[in-house]
Homo-oligomer: A and B are copies of this chain.
């Protein structure tokens, strides 16, 4: 028996193209070679290549224009669009906030987070508290977030090298331990501002905040990050489109 898992050609092609995009071979906004050229490169038929392109299109990595070509989506992957995909201001403008890390440390994982990350009790996690600030107005705090990452993913080298907590976490995961966010689950509820949060968000202590708990999963559906975000619901909102 062959233990190697079967992987369809179109999936392999899809992954390869995505890697080449991430590697910078085709920066956002540029056009890919046409279908026949790419199919030739990979030695597959046009149909197979097209299936890969369609998947990347539905995942918003590519945009296709009949008669023009296939464009790399004009999204700043480096600035972790992913976690902010759903947060916008009251004018429905999507936000791409900058990051400010308040502090980070290694701690035993809190129980409720351990369950979500599928960790043993008290297993060590890297914990960080950060602010996300408006791009155009850097004293306006959009949200306060707590992040938990299992320490087991970091090599000793990585931990030593890490003199500051990386801003662009999703890019960091990829370069450091080859993990890409494949899916995520967000649970929304309400939390009340503690003294510190009230200060940063410029609201009264005890004010109701919109709470977003996000668990991120890699390609193998293993949870590798938990993120708790709190936003002022009077300035920002959470928006979902369902098709």
Contacts and interface: CB of A to CB of B under 8 A. Distances in A.
Contacts of A183: 241-243
A188 B242 contact: no
Given A190-B190, A190-B233, A233-B190, A240 B208 contact: no
A86 B185 CA distance: 11
Nearest to A232: B190
A130 interface: no
A22 interface: no
B242 A185 contact: yes
A242 B210 contact: no
A134 interface: no
A179 interface: no
A59 B58 CA distance: 13
Interface of A: 59, 82, 85-86, 182-190, 192, 208-210, 233, 237-243
5 contacts: A59-B243, A183-B242, A187-B237, A187-B240, A189-B210
